[in-house]
Structure 1
Amino acid sequence: MPKTLGDKRHDALVAYIKTYRLAAGLNQTEVAQLLGEYQSHIARIESGQRRIDVIELIKLGEVLGFDPAEAVRQLSELKT
């Protein structure tokens, strides 16, 4: 299986999450606090250095106000 970091879909997911964070008017520290994480955790996600598992995606959706299923649907439509 090919690596996912740096994959077109991974990059799109990172951009999706960052877009929703900014639209919510939250900085990385605020998101991290809502998730019970450190700011560096969010920074690694947004810089593409960290994979996002499905549970994290659900929690991010709850905090940032997006539907994780819709995010996955959009990603699945991207051609690799």
Structure 2
Amino acid sequence: MVGDLQVLVGANLRAYRSARGLSQESFADLVGVHRTYMGGLERGERNLSLQSIEKLAEKLGIDPMSLLAK
């Protein structure tokens, strides 16, 4: 079951990544994960820990709450 918050975080992650001109693959390399995992995150298929959200936000140069905001 996919939660609404997972989908929201994934959509926000994709939007911030794209706005910075990063491909999914290059951002996955930057974060240290496989591109297929990153795709799963962006589709809301993966359940992220708060630590993971903080790490992703740090790599994007944003406040972690930005990934959780509607």
Q: Tell me the TM-score range normalised by the shorter chain.
A: 0.7 to 0.9
Q: Determine the C-alpha separation between the residues in 1 that align with 2:58 and 2:40.
A: 19
Q: Determine the C-alpha separation between the residues in 2 that align with 1:6 and 1:60.
A: 20
Q: Determine the C-alpha separation between the residues in 1 that align with 2:50 and 2:42.
A: 16
Match of 1:28 among 13, 16, 24: 24
TM (norm. structure 1) is: 0.74
Counterparts of residues 41-60 of structure 1 (less than 5 Å): 41-60=37-56
State the match for 2:14 in structure 1: 18
Q: Determine the C-alpha separation between the residues in 1 that align with 2:31 and 2:66.
A: 21
Higher relative CO (Cα under 8 Å, sequence separation at least 6) belongs to 2
Amino acid at match of 1:35: V
Instruction: Give the count of matched residue pairs.
Output: 70
Amino acid at match of 2:3: D
TM (norm. structure 2) is: 0.83
Aligned-CA RMSD value: 1.6
Mind listing any 5+ residue stretches in structure 2 that lack a counterpart? none
Q: Determine the C-alpha separation between the residues in 1 that align with 2:30 and 2:46.
A: 19
Match of 1:66 among 55, 58, 62: 62
SS of 2:37's equivalent in the other structure is helix
User: Percent identity of the aligned residues?
Assistant: 29
State which structure, 1 or 2, has the greater radius of gyration over its C-alpha atoms: 1
